[in-house]
Structure 1
Amino acid sequence: MPTLDDFDDDLFAAVQQVTVTTSDSDYIDQLVPLIKLARNSDRSPQLVRTLWEISHQRESEIEKICNSNHQEFVSSVNQLLRVREGTVNLGSEILTLNQSIQTSTEKLANQKKALVDSRSVRQNIDETTTALNACLDVLRLSNQVHELLAKKRHYAALRALDELRDVHLKEVGRYKIAEMIEKSVPATHRLIAEAVMTDLNTWLYRIREASQYLGEVAFYHTEMRRTRMRERVEKEEFMGKFKLNSAVELVADETDEFDILNNEETETQVDFSPLFECMHIHETLGRTDQFKIEYAATRRRQKELLIPTTLDLLDEDEANLSSLLESITGFAIVERATMAKTHNFRAAVDVDELWESMCQSAITLISNALPKVDSDEKLLKIKGRIALFIQTMGSWNYNVSSLNSLVLTIFAKYAQLLKYRFSEDFQEIVSTDDYMPMPINSLDEYDKVVNVSWYTPDTRREELIFPCVLPFSQMYPLCCIDIRNFLNQIYQFSDENFQHSNVIDETLMTSLDDLLCENVCQSLVERLSSQYPGQIVQILTNLEHFEHACEELQTLLFQARSSSSASAPVVLRAKEQFAAGRKTAEKRIFELVNSKIDDLIDTAEYDWQVSASSYMQELTRYLHNNMSSVMLGLPTDLKELVYFDALSHAANSVLELALDDHVQRISPAAIRLLNNDVQYLSAFVDTLDNPILKENLDELIQTVALMQTDNPDEFFDVGQANRKYGRVDRQNGAALLEKYVQTQKDNTFANYASRFGLNRS
C-alpha cells in the first residue's frame, strides 16, 4: 500500500514537471489537474509544501549559481526575485484558483449529487410512466370493453375482457388498479351476458311478431306444393295414390327448393346470428345450462302470448283462425329450425311439449267456438284452414294426431248440419210436390232430368216426342239432385288430408239412409192416407224409382268408398224401406179400389124376391176409367194385380150380397138378373184379354149357374159337383140353393092358397 512519502515524491516530481514548462499556458494547464488531484486526495498542503520546497531548491540552485557567477547571480537573483514575485503571485493565484476550484468542486459535487438525485427521480418517473402507460392500456381496454358493449359487439367485448384479464392485468398485477379491474370482471361478464340476452330477447320478440307472417309464408308454400301435386296427378294418374308429405311427393318436389326462413320472393329472412352469439358467449362464460333453461322459459312465455283467450269462428274469411294457426306455425317452424341449426341446445322433448301445448290450446279454442257455427259452408272453410295447417306442420315432422281428431269432430258437426239442411230440403220437396207425372217440354229439359236422376227410360232419346211426361213426379229428380249434392259435399270434406276415410263412408251411408228413410220414404208413406187414387199411384211410382235409385246408390257408394281396405258391399236400409213403402202403397191402391167397389155394390138395389139391379155397368165403367187414367202410371204387372184383386173383390162382394143373412129367399127373376150382371162383368173381363183375370169370376159364374140349374141334386153329387161346380164353396152353394128352393115353395103355397082362399100364418 503506498505511503504519504510516496505521494510526496510523486507530487514533487509532478511539480518539477510543471516548473520546467516553458509556457505559462502549459504551466497553468498542467498545474490545474495537479491541484484538482491534490484537492481530491486531500493533499493540498503537501502540494503547497512541495511548491515551497521546489522554490527553496530553486533558490538554492540560484544562490549557488550566483555565488559562482555573482553578476549572473545578481541577475539571476533579480530574475529569481521576479520569479519569486511571480511565484508568490502565482501561489496567490494558485490559492485563489484552489479556492475557486474547491468552490467549483463543491458546486460540482452538489450538481453531481443533484444529478444523481435527478437520475433517481427520472428513473422513478420512467418507471411511473411505464406503470401509468400500462395502467392506461388496461383502462383503455376496459373502456374498450364497454364501448364494444355499447356497439353491441358482445363477443368482441368478451374477447377483449379475456385478453385484459389474461394478459394485461398480469403486467400491472402489483398495482391497485389490477385488483380493482379483476374484481370488476365478473360484473362485466354479467353485463355482457345481460346485454346479449337483451339483444336475444329483442330478436325473440321480433321472431314472435314475425311468426304469423312466417306461418303465412309456410301456408303459401304448402298451397304451391298442392298445386304442383295436382299437376302431377293430371299428368300421371298413379300419382293420385300418394298424398302430400308422402315420400313420393317429397322426392318429386325436391327440384322446387323453397327456404321459408330466407326467401327473397316472400321477403322473409330469419337471422339466427343473435342466438348463435348468445350461445357462444354463454358457453364461453360457462353458463350454457343456465342459458338453455332461460331460453326455454322465454319460449314458453312467448308461446302463451301467441294463444288468445277467445276465438271467433264466425268472422269473415276466417281471419281469427288463420291468424292463430299461422302464428303457431311460425313459432313451431322457428323451434324446428333452431334444433336443426344448433347442437344439443333445444331438446326434442321440449319442442314437442311446446307443440302439443299449442295444439291443445288451439283445439280447446276451436272446440269452444264450434257450437256457434251453424253453416256447413263455414265449417268446410274452417276445416280447409286446419287441413292446410296439418299438412304444413306434417312437413316439419310434427305430430298432428290430435289435430286429426279435431277434424273428425268438425266433420261430425259438418255432417250433422248437412243432414239437417238436406232434411229440410227433402221435406219441402215432398210437401210441395203435385204428385203428377212430370211433364217435359224439350230435349234439353229431358237431358237435364235424366242426367241427375237414376232413371232408365223405355223409349230411346231419338224417338221422344215433346211434350211428354215421365212416370215419376217432380219430387224425384229434385231429391236426386239433393242426394248428389249431399254426396258431393260429404266427399268434399275428405278432399284434403282427412285420415278417417272409413268415418266418411260410415257417416255418409248412415246419414243418407236416415234422410231417405225419415224424410222421403216416411213422408211418402204418410201421404198414402190420401183418398185420391191418382196421388197414391204417383206415390207408388215414386217409391219404385227411389227403390231403384237406392240400388244405384249402393253401387256408387261402393265404387266411391274412401277406404280401400273395405270390401263388404254397401247395403242401404232405405232400399228395404222404399220396398216396404211400395207394398204399402199397393195395398192402399187395393183398398181404395175395393172400397170403391164396395161403395158401388152397396148401391145395389136387388129385390131378391122379384126385382134386379143394374149397378154392374157403373162398376165396370169405374174399373175401366180408373185403370186407363188414374192407374195408367202403374207398371203393367202391378196394374194386372190391381185388376185381379179388384175383380176378385167384386166377385166376392156380389156373392156376399146373396149370402147376406137378411136375404132369406132368392127369386128366379133375381137369379136371372144376377146372371145378366155376371155375364156383363165376364164380358168386360174378356175385353182385358187376360185369362188369369177371368179365373177370378169362376166361382161367381159357377155359383150363378148352380142357382139356375133344374137339378139341384147334382151339387150334392161329388162327381158331378166337381165337374160342373168345382169352384163353388160347398157351404155357400148349399145356402144359396136353400134360399132359392124356399122361394119356390113359397110360390107353390101362394098359388095353392089363392086357389083355395087360404092364408099362411
Structure 2
Amino acid sequence: MPAAIAHADLAPIVQRIVLTSSETDYVDQLIPIIKDARTPDRAGRLLHHFDALAADRETEIERMCSTNHQDFVKSVNDLLRIREGTAELTSEILGLTETIQSSTEQLAAQKKALVESRSVRENIDDATKALNACLDVLQLANQVHDLLAKKKHYAALRALEELQNVHLREISRYKIAEIIEKSVPATQKLIAEAVMTDLNTWLFRIREASQYLGEVAFYHTEMRKERMKERTEQDDYMAKYGLNSAVELVADEMDEFDILNNEETDVQIDFSPLYEAVHIHETLGRYDQFRAEYAATRRRQKDLLVPTALNLRDEDVADLSSILEGIAGFAILERATMMKTDNLRAGVDVDELWDSMCRAAITLISNNLHDVDKDETLLKIKGRVALFIQTVDTWGYATSSLHSLVLTIFDNYSKLLKRKFSEDFEEIVTTDDYMPMPINTLEEYDKVVEVSWYNPDTDRSDLQFPCVLPFSQMYPLCCIDIRNFLNQIYLFSDDEFERANVIDETLKRSLDELLCDKVCQTLVDRLSSQYPGQVVQILTNFEHFETACEELQNLLFDARSSQSASGPVILQATERFREGRKTAEKRIFELVNSKIDDLIETAEYDWMTRTPPGRKKVSNYMQELTRYLDDSMHSALLGLPTEIKELIYFDALSHAATSILSLPLDSSVRGISPAAIQTLANDVQHLVDFVDGLGNPILKENLDELVQTVALMQSDTPDEFYDVSQRNKKYGRVDREHGAILLEKVMQGQVAPLQPSQSYKQDAFAMMSSRFGLNK
C-alpha cells in the first residue's frame, strides 16, 4: 500500500520533469524530492520510475519508426542532399571569407590611418580650445588692470573674483592658471592700495573743506538764532526755550538745510570713495585693518587742526574763528561718517577725538587770554565760542568743558571790566570839584536825571535855569559808569550762558568792590579836608550814593539772569555809604566845633578888670563866632538837609556854650570882677539874640546853662544858689560844682586878689562842703 502511494506521488512529478521546457527546470522539481527525508528509499524509486519511463519511450519510438520508415529514408536522403549543398556553400563562404578578409585588412589599414588623423585633429582642437580659454583668462586679467587704471576699483575686484572663482578653474590643468592664481593676491593688494590712495585724496579734500564746512555750520546756526529771535518777538511763550531745544527743533523743521549737500553754500561732500573703500576691504577680508588705518589717519588729521600759536588780540578774532570752524567741520564729518556707515567709526572713538580736540583748543585759548586787553575782543571771543557750542550741540557732542572755557573767558572779561571801570571811578572821584553840580539847560537836566538815581523835589516844569543839583558832578558820572558796567556784564549772558548765577554773583561782588574801594573809601579819605563846604558836599554825595545803592539792589534783583536764585540782593556798599555819611556828619561837627574852639580861644577876657564895658559891647571873638555860624549855615552847610543843619546848629551851640563856660572855670582864673562879668554877659546875650533870630526854640535850650550861670554870677543874692528850692527855680541848669566855683571866683573878684598859697578851688569846695555837706 505505501509503495502504491509512493508511486502515485512520484508520477506527477516525473510527468512535470518530462514536460519542462528547459534543461534546468527539472532541477526545481527534484529539489523537494531530494530534501524530503520521510522515505529514505524514495530516490531509488524515483530512478526506477525514470527507467520505466525511458523503456516506455523507446518502445514508442520503435513503434513510430516502424510505422514511418519510408518517410524517414526520404528525409535522410533530403538531408544528404542538403549536406552536399551545404558543403558547396561552405566552400563558397570560405572563398568569400578570404575575399572579405583581404578587404577587411585594407579597410583596417585605412581605418587605422583615419583614427590616427582624427586623434591628431582632436589634439589640435583641444589645443585650440585650451589656447582660447587661456587667452580669455589673460584678457580678463588684463581687463582687471585696465579697470584699475580707470579707477573702477570695485569693478576690477569683481572681475578678479570672477577670474579666480570661474575662469581659472576652467584652465586649472594648465601652467598659466597657476601663474595667474599666484598673481591674484598681488592684484588684490594693488586694488586695495589704489582704493586707499583715492581715499587718502578724499580725506585730504575733506580736511581742507572742514573749515568751510564749519563756517557754513556757524552760518546755519546764526540763521536758526535769527529765526528763533523772530519767533520769540512774535510769541513770548517761545522765550522760555533756547536754541537746540525740542521746541526750537520742531519749530525749525520747515527750514530744511543739508549741511553736507547744499547748492546754496556750494558744499558737496561725496562719501562714495569711503563707501567703495569700506566695501572693497570687506570683500578682501581686511576690514579691521582698514578701520585701524582710517582711525589713525583721522587722528593725524585731528592733530593738524589746532596750531601751537594763537593771536587773540585781533579785533576780528579771525584766528580763533578758523580754529573753531575747522574743529566743528571735522566733528560734523565724523558724526556724519558714523551715521552713513556701519561699524566703521565707533562712538567711543569719535568722542575721544572730540575730547582731544576740545582739550587742545581750550588749552590754547586759555593760555592766550591774558594777551587780550579789550573787553570788546573778549566779548567777540565768547561769541565765537558760544556759537561753536550751539553748533556742535546740534550734532550731539558733549560741551561741558567748553562751558567751563566760557566761564574762564567771563572771569577774564569781568576782571578787565573791573580794572577799566576802577580806573574810571578813581579818576572821576579824584578829579571832582566837590561843588553842587550846575545845570544850564533843561536838556542837560533831563540827561542827568535819566542816568542818575535821583528823585528831585521840584517839578520839572517849575525849574529855572541855571540851577544847581545837590550832588557834585562825580555822582552822575559814577552812575553812568555803573550802568555801563551793568550793561557790559549782562552782554556776556547772551547766547544762553548756562552759569547765569556766576554773572549775578560776579556782578554783585565787582560792584561792591568798585563802590566800596574806589568810591566810598576815596570819599572817606577826602573827609580829612579842612573845608567844611567840601565835607558837606561829600556828605551829600554819600546820601545820594546810598540811595543809588538801594535802587541798584532792586535793579539787580529784577535783572537777575538766574531764575533759580532767591532772596533779595544786598550790596555791602549800601551800608558802607551809610557809614560814610555818618562819618561825614561827624567830620562836619568836628570842623564846626574846631572852628568854634579856634574862635573862642581868641577870647581876651580880663577877669579882674575894673573898667565896665560899653553898653551892649560885644567881644570880637563873639562877633566872629556868630558870623561864622551864620555864614556856615547859609553857605558851606547850605546843601545839607534841614534836619542835619539843625543838628549841627544844636551841637555847635552846645559846644560853644560849653567852651565859653569853660573860660571862667579855667584854673588860671583866680577871681572875676563885676566888670568882667558884665563883658561876659554882653557876649552871652549877643549869642542868645543870634539864636533867637534863628527861630528855633529848641536851639536856645543849649544856652540855658550858660545864661543861668552868667545870671548867677551877676546875682545880688548868690546865697539863693545854695537853697535847693531857689536853685532849682532860678538856676536848675547850673552845675552845682561849677556854680560854687564861679561864685567863689566872683567873691574873690570883689575883694583883694587871692593869695597864691591857697587854691580858690579848694576854698570853693570847702565852702560847699560846709553848706551842703558835700564830699570833695
Same-fold call, TM cutoff 0.5: yes
> Does residue 532 of structure 2 align to residue 533 of structure 1?
yes
In 2: Cα distance, 1:657 partner to 1:251 partner: 91
User: Does the 8 Å contact 1:614/1:677 carry over to 2?
Assistant: no
In 2: Cα distance, 1:585 partner to 1:595 partner: 15
With over 3 angstroms needed to count, the CA separation of the structure-2 counterparts of 1:501 and 1:41, relative to structure 1, is closer
Q: What is the CA distance between 1:345 and its match in structure 2? A: 2.2
Give the SS at the match of 1:696. helix
User: Does the 8 Å contact 1:212/1:327 carry over to 2?
Assistant: yes
Q: What is the CA distance between 1:510 and its match in structure 2? A: 0.6
In 1: Cα distance, 2:642 partner to 2:254 partner: 67
Q: What is the CA distance between 1:238 and its match in structure 2? A: 2.5
**What are the Cα deviations for residues 656-677 of structure 1, in whole angstroms up to 9, with x where unaligned?**
1111111111111121221121
Give the SS at the match of 1:632. coil
Match of 2:599 in 1: 600
> Does residue 92 of structure 2 align to residue 6 of structure 1?
yes
Question: Following superposition of structure 1 onto structure 2, how do residues 14-25 of structure 1 map, counting pairs within 5 Å?
Answer: none
Letter in 2 for 1:243: G
User: Does the 8 Å contact 2:670/2:753 carry over to 1?
Assistant: no
In 1: Cα distance, 2:123 partner to 2:211 partner: 69
Match of 2:46 in 1: none
Aligned length: 662
Q: What is the CA distance between 1:4 and its match in structure 2? A: 9.1
Q: What is the CA distance between 1:299 and its match in structure 2? A: 0.9
Unaligned runs of 5+ in 2: 1-86, 614-618, 756-776
Q: What is the CA distance between 1:223 and its match in structure 2? A: 0.6
Higher mean Cα deviation, 721-730 or 544-553? 721-730
Q: What is the CA distance between 1:166 and its match in structure 2? A: 1.4
Q: What is the CA distance between 1:464 and its match in structure 2? A: 0.8
Match of 2:7 in 1: none
Give the SS at the match of 1:692. helix
User: Does the 8 Å contact 1:439/1:469 carry over to 2?
Assistant: yes
Match of 1:77 in 2: none
Match of 2:691 in 1: 685
In 2: Cα distance, 1:452 partner to 1:316 partner: 30
Q: What is the CA distance between 1:360 and its match in structure 2? A: 0.2
Match of 1:240 in 2: 239
Give the SS at the match of 2:438. strand
User: Does the 8 Å contact 2:671/2:754 carry over to 1?
Assistant: no
Q: What is the CA distance between 1:460 and its match in structure 2? A: 0.8
Q: What is the CA distance between 1:536 and its match in structure 2? A: 0.9
Give the SS at the match of 2:561. coil
Match of 1:18 in 2: none
With over 3 angstroms needed to count, the CA separation of the structure-2 counterparts of 1:5 and 1:652, relative to structure 1, is same
Match of 1:405 in 2: 404
> Does residue 643 of structure 2 align to residue 659 of structure 1?
no
Match of 1:131 in 2: 130
Question: Following superposition of structure 1 onto structure 2, how do residues 289-688 of structure 1 map, counting pairs within 5 Å?
Answer: 289-610=288-609, 613-688=619-694
Normalised TM-score (structure 2) = 0.82
Q: What is the CA distance between 1:343 and its match in structure 2? A: 2.2
> Does residue 277 of structure 2 align to residue 278 of structure 1?
yes
Q: What is the CA distance between 1:264 and its match in structure 2? A: 0.9
User: Does the 8 Å contact 1:391/1:497 carry over to 2?
Assistant: no
Match of 2:17 in 1: none
Higher mean Cα deviation, 242-251 or 647-656? 242-251
User: Does the 8 Å contact 1:513/1:572 carry over to 2?
Assistant: yes
Q: What is the CA distance between 1:109 and its match in structure 2? A: 7.2
User: Does the 8 Å contact 2:145/2:156 carry over to 1?
Assistant: yes
In 1: Cα distance, 2:406 partner to 2:270 partner: 35
Give the SS at the match of 1:459. coil
Question: Following superposition of structure 1 onto structure 2, how do residues 248-259 of structure 1 map, counting pairs within 5 Å?
Answer: 248-259=247-258
In 1: Cα distance, 2:298 partner to 2:434 partner: 68
User: Does the 8 Å contact 2:475/2:541 carry over to 1?
Assistant: yes
In 1: Cα distance, 2:272 partner to 2:714 partner: 121
In 2: Cα distance, 1:694 partner to 1:121 partner: 158
Question: Following superposition of structure 1 onto structure 2, how do residues 60-99 of structure 1 map, counting pairs within 5 Å?
Answer: none
In 1: Cα distance, 2:643 partner to 2:94 partner: 179
In 1: Cα distance, 2:96 partner to 2:477 partner: 156
**What are the Cα deviations for residues 630-662 of structure 1, in whole angstroms up to 9, with x where unaligned?**
111111111111111111111111001111111
Letter in 1 for 2:92: D
Select 1:733's aligned residue among 729, 733, 739.
739
Give the SS at the match of 1:343. coil
Unaligned runs of 5+ in 1: 13-33, 43-104, 750-761
Give the SS at the match of 1:469. strand
Match of 2:704 in 1: 698
With over 3 angstroms needed to count, the CA separation of the structure-2 counterparts of 1:38 and 1:723, relative to structure 1, is closer
User: Does the 8 Å contact 2:671/2:753 carry over to 1?
Assistant: no
**What are the Cα deviations for residues 205-259 of structure 1, in whole angstroms up to 9, with x where unaligned?**
1111100000000100111111111111111123222221112211211111111
**What are the Cα deviations for residues 588-620 of structure 1, in whole angstroms up to 9, with x where unaligned?**
111111111111111111111226634212211
Q: What is the CA distance between 1:5 and its match in structure 2? A: 4.1
In 1: Cα distance, 2:149 partner to 2:415 partner: 63
Q: What is the CA distance between 1:686 and its match in structure 2? A: 1.3
Compute the RMSD of aligned alpha carbons.
2.3
With over 3 angstroms needed to count, the CA separation of the structure-2 counterparts of 1:11 and 1:602, relative to structure 1, is closer
Quick one: percent identity of the two aligned structures? 72
In 2: Cα distance, 1:191 partner to 1:294 partner: 17
In 2: Cα distance, 1:383 partner to 1:6 partner: 129
Match of 1:84 in 2: none
Give the SS at the match of 2:316. helix
Match of 1:743 in 2: 749
Letter in 1 for 2:473: Q
Give the SS at the match of 2:548. helix
Letter in 2 for 1:172: I
Give the SS at the match of 1:615. helix
With over 3 angstroms needed to count, the CA separation of the structure-2 counterparts of 1:636 and 1:115, relative to structure 1, is same
**What are the Cα deviations for residues 11-65 of structure 1, in whole angstroms up to 9, with x where unaligned?**
99xxxxxxxxxxxxxxxxxxxxx9xx897468xxxxxxxxxxxxxxxxxxxxxxx
In 2: Cα distance, 1:557 partner to 1:566 partner: 12
In 1: Cα distance, 2:104 partner to 2:276 partner: 78
Give the SS at the match of 1:629. helix
Question: Following superposition of structure 1 onto structure 2, how do residues 187-226 of structure 1 map, counting pairs within 5 Å?
Answer: 187-226=186-225
Letter in 2 for 1:465: Q
**What are the Cα deviations for residues 514-566 of structure 1, in whole angstroms up to 9, with x where unaligned?**
00011111111111111111111111111110011000011111111111111
Higher mean Cα deviation, 233-242 or 206-215? 233-242
In 2: Cα distance, 1:433 partner to 1:316 partner: 34
With over 3 angstroms needed to count, the CA separation of the structure-2 counterparts of 1:709 and 1:41, relative to structure 1, is closer
Higher mean Cα deviation, 282-291 or 140-149? 282-291
